[in-house]
Amino acid sequence: MKCLLAASRDGNTTEEKITFGGQGTGPGKFDQNPGVAVSADHEIFVTDLFNRRVQVYNMRGVHLRLFPTIVPGDNETMLPFGVAIDGEGHLWVVGRTNFYLLQPNGSFLQSFGTEKGVEISYVTTDNDGRILLTENLGTGMMSKYGHVKASDGVHVYDRIGHWLFKFGALGGEDRLRLPRGICVDASGNVFVADEGRGSV
């Protein structure tokens, strides 16, 4: 994983690139790392998909800790994909048709299922505490060439897991073909990377 750090020294901004991680199963190594989020405490949280865990680093790329994505009551750990940090410092982690609320130390707080079992991939939170999730390409409509023609957009839930609405869905003028990464700025504007259209 590569990270670009920017620092101000004597009024001048300098940039420094650091690389950490690499392929593997040991602490600090990844077996696909699709999601990343940075906390207000300057800790970097990275989902480690096939190692079924979340790993945590400081801003210099030093490995601090890891925790398996174990859901109480399940027989297996879930495959973590997207990750986000809300205004209270809690983690939201996506696991296919569910999304999970965790403490920064990995302690499980709560799990939520998606509306009608929709598969999801990336997550963010907004200033009102709502959870925004992009639908996974696995539920999109496939063309004869195997490419996704459309998905059902972005699904929005409240903080206790109630589905509220969706946007960018099939049939609308603002239809998203393959929504992936998503974030919300301080003014509440939502940015969605649409891989299917090569646009934001």
Domain residue spans of the chain = 30-194
Q: Which of the 8 DSSP states describes residue 136? A: P
Q: Which of the 8 DSSP states describes residue 129? A: S
Task: List CB contacts of 65: < 8 A, sequence separation 6 or more.
Answer: 55, 56, 105
Sort 156 into a burial class: Cβ within 10 Å, 0-12 / 13-18 / 19+: middle
**CA distances for 194 relative to 38, 42, 79, 150, 151, angstroms:** 22, 28, 23, 10, 10
Tokens of 143: 């063309």
d(CA 184, CA 130): 11
124-128, 133-137, 141-145, 165-169: range with lowest mean pLDDT: 141-145
Task: List CB contacts of 48: < 8 A, sequence separation 6 or more.
Answer: 30, 31, 32, 33, 54, 55, 66, 80
Which pLDDT value is given to residue 143?
Answer: 36
Q: What is the pTM (predicted TM-score) of this model? A: 0.84
| Higher pLDDT among residues 154 and 84, named by residue | 84
Determine the topology of domain 30-194 in CATH. Answer: Neuraminidase (2.120.10)
CB 66 within 8 A of CB 27: yes
Q: Which of the 8 DSSP states describes residue 114? A: P
Average pLDDT over residues 158-168: 89
126-130, 160-164, 195-199: range with lowest mean pLDDT: 195-199
